[in-house]
Amino acid sequence: MNDTRYESGLAKLREIDGAAGEAVIESLQAIAPDLARYTIEFPFGEIYQRPGLDLKSRELATVSALTALGHCAPQLEVHIHGALNVGVTPEQIVEVIIQMAVYAGFPAALNGMGVAKAVFAERGLLDEGTAQ
Amino acid sequence: MNDTRYESGLAKLREIDGAAGEAVIESLQAIAPDLARYTIEFPFGEIYQRPGLDLKSRELATVSALTALGHCAPQLEVHIHGALNVGVTPEQIVEVIIQMAVYAGFPAALNGMGVAKAVFAERGLLDEGTAQ
Amino acid sequence: MNDTRYESGLAKLREIDGAAGEAVIESLQAIAPDLARYTIEFPFGEIYQRPGLDLKSRELATVSALTALGHCAPQLEVHIHGALNVGVTPEQIVEVIIQMAVYAGFPAALNGMGVAKAVFAERGLLDEGTAQ
Amino acid sequence: MNDTRYESGLAKLREIDGAAGEAVIESLQAIAPDLARYTIEFPFGEIYQRPGLDLKSRELATVSALTALGHCAPQLEVHIHGALNVGVTPEQIVEVIIQMAVYAGFPAALNGMGVAKAVFAERGLLDEGTAQ
Amino acid sequence: MNDTRYESGLAKLREIDGAAGEAVIESLQAIAPDLARYTIEFPFGEIYQRPGLDLKSRELATVSALTALGHCAPQLEVHIHGALNVGVTPEQIVEVIIQMAVYAGFPAALNGMGVAKAVFAERGLLDEGTAQ
Amino acid sequence: MNDTRYESGLAKLREIDGAAGEAVIESLQAIAPDLARYTIEFPFGEIYQRPGLDLKSRELATVSALTALGHCAPQLEVHIHGALNVGVTPEQIVEVIIQMAVYAGFPAALNGMGVAKAVFAERGLLDEGTAQ
């Protein structure tokens, strides 16, 4: 049933993205509540529920893809939070963003790192183990 | 003659994009007036004059492409205004942006919807028929 | 229920894309049957079922987005077939592809037109009303 | 007048792209002759006529952009021919393609170099000064 | 010293990409041997040497980014081989490619899966555990 | 040795990009000093040191690619400064950005021109020879 996907998707969204994810959903209610529903049901109700890959690996794959695409700064911010929330370390996030310089060019990596820096600062992580 | 394309293009630009389109043209005068002229002559003096597709369909095609490309927020804003100006409904705009989640991914659709939300709010459209 | 989305999605896929769409689904069975299922359930079981925009407009929006993105030739081929299947005229398809020269550049438009030419030739449409 | 732009554009297309450019135009006649006309009138009848930048620099800029965009192999092939036709050296072409590794990533540079290699081979240039 | 980066990079390239990686390097010798050298020294001599992220995670990040970018099929093929070579399972590769439907759209995921299918077939993996 | 690449790269970065380039490097120190080091060593310590293409042509190629890619506004700003610093004229910068309308579409050209306008204004160049 859709209800199952919606409920499990909403729980997964809260587990991974926390308040940042709920803010995305909330911001859609006035204009396109169905896009909010699809966001909950498909990515979070289906994809992030799949057993074939652990959540840390999924979040690293998302951070790398959003960095490479280059036009997804708001979603990259949400998923850097999400990666940290599920146990990815700041160092691992820094590593995949650096790696994107190879595949998408230095501008994409530099802009992705700027997003990571803002998220790390917000969470008080910049004085710790992220400098390599 | 160029003059014909320029004059008919300028009229079409005003019909479709109104003040937002004229602001784009004006902002180019100090640095690249020829780019302003090309913008009037080619897209508006040629393409939007063509009889093979109605203006509403052209604007929906533009909204879908700019949403999918992802790096064109200022132009998407102008053309959401333009779509509304030529009679596309808010609901139709919301529909093509949602549809882009399929072809360009959820981040592109979410960012496009954010632009639409700002335009709809500016035009007092958010309390009306856009919520589905 | 998922079953409903799957069944109505499969019917819609057959209505729009015909054999070309079923070939995509078939080709996924040996490697990722769940991606086949999602393709049926989400785009065709949800998006193309929505009442807010007619199928012709949806297919034109898809053709314009896939032309603009530039890296989706196989899907563009399927959806040019799809557009024709739901009643979009060859001329309208040509028009949205030409229009993409404005928003995504001439290479994207030229490559999209090459795909359209192959589809039109396959369907015996090139001697007819497509030349403007 | 349009006629002037068309005539000077066609002459410029022949000067820069030679037979490869004419083949592009010819291939459009059966499906979208107006896109052929726009390709002659706007890029070649306007942009490549402009005095503010020499043709060699324009072709190098085009080669770099098409390499970076990544989905324009047919056009990159035409413009590597065009660059050579107007006096850009094979070494300079190789240099801008290598440089794109920095801005668009190694895959874009490697794929662009594959196109250059095919063009150089076709013109008998691979035994000469292109190896650095 | 550069020599160190070159030697360790070449060893890493062979470890990860095997014959497919060496073919890329070989194909560059006649036109741009320095691009071959940079490919060895920077991605493989620097990035894949870094201790902050294991090779499996790096290859999954590369597969996800190349799938999302959409214009990198040859490199995606090399890195799906590479991922398998360092111990990523076929199922994990399928999972990150499916996930890209969310972030880059269904066409990017479908095209990436087509590349994976060809690699899996070449390695005799399609009758095994990849179907979910 | 790495030290040589680092030192010559840093000198080249200062020559080309001046304070804007150093600010990029500085901003990375708290989160990813190795990405700062790679930025100095690879683009500036290797690519911009190569003799096969003059610095003005390299900067024009970079401005054209960053304009075309569309998601690199901060880097485009740095390299418009860089182009001016090595002797490219404002008119030449305007010309390559206009040219990108052909290859990447009008939105990419318009957004690139917006970045150029801000840089030119900052350097007091808008009352001079940039209007054509």
Distance from the Cα of D18 to chain E's closest Cα (Å) equals 24
What is the phi/psi pair of residue F109, to 5°? -65, -40
Q: What CATH number has the domain bearing residue E67?
A: 1.20.1290.10
**Amino acid identity, position F95:** E
Domain end call among F35, F50, F65: F50
Contacts of A82 in chain B (CB under 8 A): none
pLDDT (average), residues E106-125: 98
Residue C125 has pLDDT above 90, yes or no: yes
- Work out the pLDDT band at B3, boundaries 50, 70, 90: confident
CB spacing of B108 vs E108 below 8 angstroms: no
Q: Which residue of F has its CA nearest to D66?
A: F103
**E1-39 as b/e, with b when 16 or more CB fall inside 10 Å?**
eeeebeebbbebbeebbeebbeebbeebeebbebbbbbb
Residue A129 has pLDDT above 80, yes or no: no
Question: Residue C129, exposed/middle/buried by CB under 10 A (0-12, 13-18, 19+)?
Answer: exposed
Neighbours of E112 (CB within 10 A): 30
pLDDT (average), residues D95-115: 98
With both helix axes pointing from N to C terminus, report the angle between B73-85 and B90-104 in degrees, rounded to the nearest 10.
140
- How many angstroms separate the CA atoms of B109 and B101, rounded? 5
- Within 8 A by CB and 6+ apart from B9, the residues are B40, B41, B42, B43, B44, B45, B46, B49
Residues C68 and C38 in one domain: no
Residue A1 has pLDDT above 90, yes or no: no
- The per-residue pLDDT for C3 is 77
Contacts of D107 in chain A (CB under 8 A): 103
Contacts of D110 in chain E (CB under 8 A): 24, 28, 35, 39, 74-75
Residues B67 and B105 in one domain: yes
Residue B130 has pLDDT above 80, yes or no: no
Does residue A78 contact residue E78 with C-beta atoms inside 8 Å?
no
CA angle A71, D76, D49 (to 5 degrees): 95
Of the candidates C1, C2, C42, which has its C-beta nearest A42's C-beta? C42
- The per-residue pLDDT for F50 is 98
Mutate to test the interface with F, among C64, C67, C103 (most CBs of F within 10 A): C103
- The per-residue pLDDT for A130 is 45
What value of ipTM does the predicted structure carry? Answer: 0.93
Question: Residue C50, exposed/middle/buried by CB under 10 A (0-12, 13-18, 19+)?
Answer: middle
CA angle C81, C69, F80 (to 5 degrees): 160
pLDDT (average), residues E90-95: 98
pLDDT (average), residues A82-97: 98
pLDDT (average), residues B8-34: 94
Nearest to F44 by CA among F77, F71, F79: F79
- Within 8 A by CB and 6+ apart from A63, the residues are A76, A79, A80, A83, A88, A93, A96, A97, A112, E61
Of the candidates A100, A103, A107, which has its C-beta nearest D103's C-beta? A107
Residues F4 and F41 in one domain: yes
pLDDT (average), residues A101-124: 98
Cα dihedral across residues D90, E23, F37, D63: positive or negative: positive
pLDDT in tens, C38-93: 999 999 999 999 999 999 999 999 999 999 999 999 999 999 999 999 999 999 99
Distance from the Cα of E110 to chain B's closest Cα (Å) equals 11
Nearest to E17 by CA among E52, E50, E53, E62: E62
User: Which chains have at least 3 CB atom pairs separated by less than 8 Å from chain B?
Assistant: A, C, D, E, F
Residues D20 and D72 in one domain: no
pLDDT (average), residues B67-81: 97
Total domains, chain C = 2
- The per-residue pLDDT for E98 is 98
Residues C62 and C127 in one domain: yes
Which chain A residues touch D if contact means CB-CB below 8 Å? 68, 100-108
- How many angstroms separate the CA atoms of E68 and B27, rounded? 35
Token pair, residue B60, equals 């929906």
Nearest to D98 by CA among A114, E39, E69: E39
Contacts of A50 in chain C (CB under 8 A): 34
Instruction: Give this prediction's pTM.
Output: 0.95
pLDDT (average), residues B80-92: 98
Residues B93 and B58 in one domain: yes
pLDDT in tens, D50-67: 999 999 999 999 999 999
CB spacing of F101 vs B38 below 8 angstroms: yes
- How many angstroms separate the CA atoms of D84 and D15, rounded? 11
Token pair, residue C1, equals 């229920």
Residue D85 has pLDDT above 60, yes or no: yes
Does residue B69 contact residue B107 with C-beta atoms inside 8 Å?
no
Token pair, residue E119, equals 């690699």
Q: By three-state DSSP, how is residue E5 classified?
A: helix
Distance from the Cα of A85 to chain F's closest Cα (Å) equals 19
Mutate to test the interface with C, among F64, F69, F106 (most CBs of C within 10 A): F106
Domain that holds residue F32: 1-50
- Work out the pLDDT band at D3, boundaries 50, 70, 90: confident
Residue with token string 């369909």: B57
Residues E59 and E43 in one domain: no
- How many angstroms separate the CA atoms of C104 and F108, rounded? 8
Distance from the Cα of F132 to chain B's closest Cα (Å) equals 7
What is the phi/psi pair of residue F114, to 5°? -60, -40
Q: Which residue of C has its CA nearest to F100?
A: C105
Token pair, residue B112, equals 């496009």
- Within 8 A by CB and 6+ apart from B51, the residues are none
Neighbours of E107 (CB within 10 A): 26
pLDDT (average), residues F112-119: 98
- Within 8 A by CB and 6+ apart from B74, the residues are F107, F110, F111, F114
Nearest to B114 by CA among B76, B87, B62: B76
Neighbours of F29 (CB within 10 A): 11
Residue B132 has pLDDT above 50, yes or no: no
Of the candidates E68, E102, E106, which has its C-beta nearest B103's C-beta? E106
- Average pLDDT over chain D reads 94
Residues C23 and C61 in one domain: no
Residues C36 and C80 in one domain: no
Cα dihedral across residues E45, E47, E50, E55: positive or negative: negative
- The per-residue pLDDT for C2 is 58
User: Which chains have at least 3 CB atom pairs separated by less than 8 Å from chain F?
Assistant: A, B, C, D, E
Q: By three-state DSSP, how is residue A93 classified?
A: helix
Of the candidates D68, D75, D92, which has its C-beta nearest F52's C-beta? D92
Residues B34 and B58 in one domain: no
pLDDT in tens, F90-107: 999 999 999 999 999 999
Residues B64 and B39 in one domain: no
Contacts of C43 in chain E (CB under 8 A): 106
User: Which chains have at least 3 CB atom pairs separated by less than 8 Å from chain E?
Assistant: A, B, C, D, F
Neighbours of C38 (CB within 10 A): 22
Token pair, residue B125, equals 């459209």
Contacts of C66 in chain B (CB under 8 A): 103
- Work out the pLDDT band at D131, boundaries 50, 70, 90: very low
Q: By three-state DSSP, how is residue B14 classified?
A: helix
- How many angstroms separate the CA atoms of B37 and D126, rounded? 43
- Which H or E run contains C92? helix C90-104
- How many angstroms separate the CA atoms of B65 and B58, rounded? 11
Residues E3 and E36 in one domain: yes
Mutate to test the interface with E, among A17, A24, A62, A130 (most CBs of E within 10 A): A62
- How many angstroms separate the CA atoms of A66 and F34, rounded? 21
